[in-house]
């Protein structure tokens, strides 16, 4: 992780980010429908605060997208081969710093069910459950909130 840099994504990164989403092992099997056909676009990157974790070799290790209005961590992915290396923690810490700089008091997260423990370990509180929205999302998802220190 020492050689990991966090940098702002630009439109030209859209394909790399899309490939990371679509290749995520966390969304195989019963969860595959939520990312089926999903694309991160250059327009999306321009409208939101999208940051990438990049290794010394320029390899994409993960990314997140912070939506400011309403405040939400919309996307957060860590490459399968980078799981367990602290990349997710680094990205969440960066996201909360960005949220604080933007004057936000909290950030909502509608989590992938297997990721709930990860977010809670990093300080998010569970505030509810989001109902399924078929056909893409056929399961309930935990709703969490990060309180942002000012």
Whole-number pLDDT of residue 136: 87
Structural domain containing residue 113: 5-147
pLDDT at residue number 28: 86
Per-residue 3-state assignment (H helix, E strand, C coil) for 10-79: CHHHHHHHHHHHHCCHHHCHHHHHHCCCCCCCHHHHHHCEEEEEECCCCCEEEEEEEEECCEEEEEEEEC
The distance in angstroms from the start CA to the end CA of the chain is 27
pLDDT exceeds cutoff 70 at 1: no
Confidence of residue 94 (pLDDT cuts 50, 70, 90): very high
Q: Which of the 8 DSSP states describes residue 105?
A: S
What does the longest C-alpha to C-alpha distance in the chain come to? 41
Which pLDDT belongs to residue 2?
Answer: 60
- CATH number at 27 reads 3.40.630.30
pLDDT digits (tens, 9 = 90+) for 6-43: 999 999 999 999 999 999 998 888 888 889 889 999 99
pLDDT 10s digits, 125-136? 999 999 999 888
Answer whether 98's CB lies under 8 Å from 8's CB: no
Q: Could you give the number of structural domains in the chain?
A: 1
Interval 110-124: pLDDT, tens:
999 999 999 999 999
CB 88 within 8 A of CB 119: no
Average of per-residue pLDDT values in the chain: 95
């Amino acid at each position: 992780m020492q050689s990991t840099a966090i940098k702002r994504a630009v439109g030209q990164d859209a394909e790399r980010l899309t490939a990371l989403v679509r290749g995520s092992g966390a969304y195989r099997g019963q969860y595959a429908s939520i990312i089926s056909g999903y694309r991160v676009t250059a327009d999306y990157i321009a409208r939101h605060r999208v940051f990438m974790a990049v290794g010394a070799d320029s390899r994409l290790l993960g990314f997140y997208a912070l939506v400011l209005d309403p405040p939400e961590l919309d996307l957060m992915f860590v490459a399968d081969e980078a799981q367990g290396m602290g990349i997710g923690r680094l990205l969440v810490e960066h996201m909360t710093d960005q949220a604080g700089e933007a004057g936000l008091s909290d950030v909502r997260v509608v989590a992938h069910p297997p990721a709930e423990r990860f977010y809670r370990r990093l300080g998010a509180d569970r505030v509810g459950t989001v109902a399924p929205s078929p056909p893409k999302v056929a399961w309930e998802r935990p709703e969490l909130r990060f309180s942002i220190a000012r």
